[in-house]
């Protein structure tokens, strides 16, 4: 046996050394970490930095989320709704009596304070001592190109070189940034409203054709004070399978989701409800009122009712002997539901008498495929 020569070993060792050189990627990574303009001074140890990186990412995403949510609920331009508004000073803590008048392109501030005018002899110094706000910041005059932006209950009026923030503390009451209080003559229309002029409140007699069939319905889930939809009262319901796009307000006939039947076997397999939320919209119920994408749904099916009556009407017309649990009924009229996003190819369904039926509040948005047909009216 011949021993290995040193030469062979050295050659082989050189080859071995070649196997240990880094890949171009490792090299690039190291270069980037070393020669970034803001390079880290400490050795980069993934393991020790991972917690900080993860928490940084979490912090950032929370921050971004917060920022986005602020941005969304943040300043909205409500200038248009302030047109024609009069803002009268109500507080007497300042030697002023301001009146704001908002018009289409400008607004004016008048100071109708008169005490000094009527009594020129009065010692001004002494007179001012009685006022909490001695130097109001507002300068009477006409300001053009103004905007009013709303953020929560804060209204910021901006004109050239002029900003003034009002905080709303009552339906018609505002406090200025300097503490002066005002009131408006009218309520400001702050909430955008969605209406529905098409959907009739009562079912009408509908024509029948090849695409329609008749169903019976005995529940009072759609009752609006007239036993609405009840077959015994009004005749059978006409369901049409011939429909294209579902409209808001459209009553539909659909397969009851299995989750509902699993909970309550007495629920019929086919159910009736009204389309309230369309694909892509967000449906929320606040205080018994439906909001679509944050806009008030001002329709007969947009709020909690009992036999068609809202809270005020109900308690005014129904004798107190007829109900026992007033608080429970009031809670019903002021119910809340967290915002639900209606996915594509689904719709948000509500019955007309919320406490008497199952709908999307129970099972979430309904896949459009589950809808058998639209209810066009009653048969003759």
Partner 1 sequence: MSSEAWFDEYYDAVYSYILMLVKDSHTAEDLSQETFMKVIRSEKQFNGDSLVKTWIFRIAYTTTMSYFRKKNPITYYFDLHNTKHERSSEEIVLLNAQQKQFYEALNQLKPTYQQVIILRKIQGFSTKETSTILNWSEGKVKMSLSRALAAFKEELEKGGFTNETLIR
Residues forming the site for partner 1 (CB under 8 A):
1-6, 8-17, 19-22, 26-27, 29-31, 33-35, 41, 43-46
Q: Which helix (H) or strand (E) holds 124?
A: helix 124-129
Smallest separation (angstroms) from partner 1 to the CB of 12: 6
CA dist list (Å): 29 to 25, 37, 40, 118: 6, 14, 13, 83
Q: Which is nearer to partner 1, 12 or 331 (CB)?
A: 12
How far is Cα 79 from Cα 313, in angstroms, rounded to an integer? 34
Q: Which is nearer to partner 1, 34 or 64 (CB)?
A: 34
Q: Which is nearer to partner 1, 17 or 200 (CB)?
A: 17
By three-state DSSP, how is residue 116 classified?
Answer: helix
Q: Residues with Cβ < 8 Å from 145, sequence gap 6 or more?
A: 105, 106, 159, 160
Residue 54 · residue 43 · CB < 8 Å: no
Smallest separation (angstroms) from partner 1 to the CB of 57: 21
Smallest separation (angstroms) from partner 1 to the CB of 28: 10
By three-state DSSP, how is residue 270 classified?
Answer: strand
Instruction: Give the distance, in angstroms, between the CA of residue 380 and the centroid of all CA atoms in the same chain.
Output: 42
Smallest separation (angstroms) from partner 1 to the CB of 37: 12
Smallest separation (angstroms) from partner 1 to the CB of 51: 16
Q: Which is nearer to partner 1, 39 or 151 (CB)?
A: 39
Smallest separation (angstroms) from partner 1 to the CB of 166: 57
Instruction: Give the distance, in angstroms, between the CA of residue 180 and the centroid of all CA atoms in the same chain.
Output: 31
**What is Dmax (Cα atoms) for the chain?**
131
Q: Which helix (H) or strand (E) holds 167?
A: strand 162-170
Smallest separation (angstroms) from partner 1 to the CB of 360: 52
Q: Which is nearer to partner 1, 44 or 66 (CB)?
A: 44
Q: Which is nearer to partner 1, 11 or 76 (CB)?
A: 11
By three-state DSSP, how is residue 176 classified?
Answer: strand
> For residue 161, what are its two tokens?
């070189």
Q: Which is nearer to partner 1, 25 or 322 (CB)?
A: 25
Q: Which residues face 104 on adjacent strands? A: none
68: phi then psi, degrees, rounded to nearest 5: -65, -45
Smallest separation (angstroms) from partner 1 to the CB of 53: 16
Radius of gyration of the chain (CA): 35
Which residue, 318, 304, 313, 309, is CA-closest to 354?
Answer: 304
Q: Which is nearer to partner 1, 4 or 262 (CB)?
A: 4
């Amino acid at each position: 046996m011949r021993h290995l020569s040193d030469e062979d070993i050295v050659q082989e060792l050189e080859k071995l050394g070649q196997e240990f050189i880094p890949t171009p990627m490792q090299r690039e990574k190291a270069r980037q970490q070393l020669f970034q303009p803001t390079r880290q001074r400490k050795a980069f140890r993934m393991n020790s930095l991972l917690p900080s990186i993860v928490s940084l990412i979490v912090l950032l995403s929370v921050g971004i989320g917060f920022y986005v949510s602020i941005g969304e609920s943040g300043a909205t331009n409500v200038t248009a709704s302030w047109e024609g508004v009069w803002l009268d000073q109500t507080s007497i803590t300042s030697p002023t009596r301001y009146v704001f008048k908002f018009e289409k392109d400008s607004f004016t501030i008048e100071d109708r304070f008169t005490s000094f005018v009527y009594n020129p002899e009065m010692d001004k110094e002494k007179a001012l001592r009685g006022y909490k706000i001695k130097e109001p910041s507002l300068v009477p005059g006409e300001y053009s190109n103004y905007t009013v932006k709303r953020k929560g209950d804060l209204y910021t009026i901006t004109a050239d070189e002029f900003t003034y923030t009002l905080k709303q503390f009552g339906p018609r009451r505002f406090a200025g940034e300097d503490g002066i209080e005002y009131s408006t003559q009218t309520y400001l229309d702050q909430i955008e409203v969605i209406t529905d002029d098409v959907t009739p409140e009562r079912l009408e007699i509908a024509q029948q054709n090849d695409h329609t069939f008749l169903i019976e319905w005995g529940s009072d889930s759609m009752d609006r004070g007239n036993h609405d939809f009840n077959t015994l009262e009004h005749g059978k319901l006409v369901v049409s399978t011939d429909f294209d796009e579902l409209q808001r307000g459209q009553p539909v006939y659909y397969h009851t989701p299995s989750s509902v039947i699993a909970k309550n076997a007495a629920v019929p397999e086919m159910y009736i409800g009204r389309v309230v939320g369309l694909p892509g919209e967000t449906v929320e119920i606040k205080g018994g009122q439906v909001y679509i994408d944050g806009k008030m749904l001002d329709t007969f099916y947009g709020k909690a009712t009992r036999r068609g009556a809202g809270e005020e009407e109900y308690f005014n017309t129904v004798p107190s002997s007829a109900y026992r649990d007033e608080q429970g009924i009031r809670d019903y009229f002021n119910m809340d539901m967290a915002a639900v996003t209606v996915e594509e190819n689904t719709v948000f369904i509500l019955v007309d008498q919320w406490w008497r039926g199952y709908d999307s509040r129970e099972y979430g948005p309904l896949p459009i495929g589950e809808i058998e047909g639209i209810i066009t009216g009653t048969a003759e």
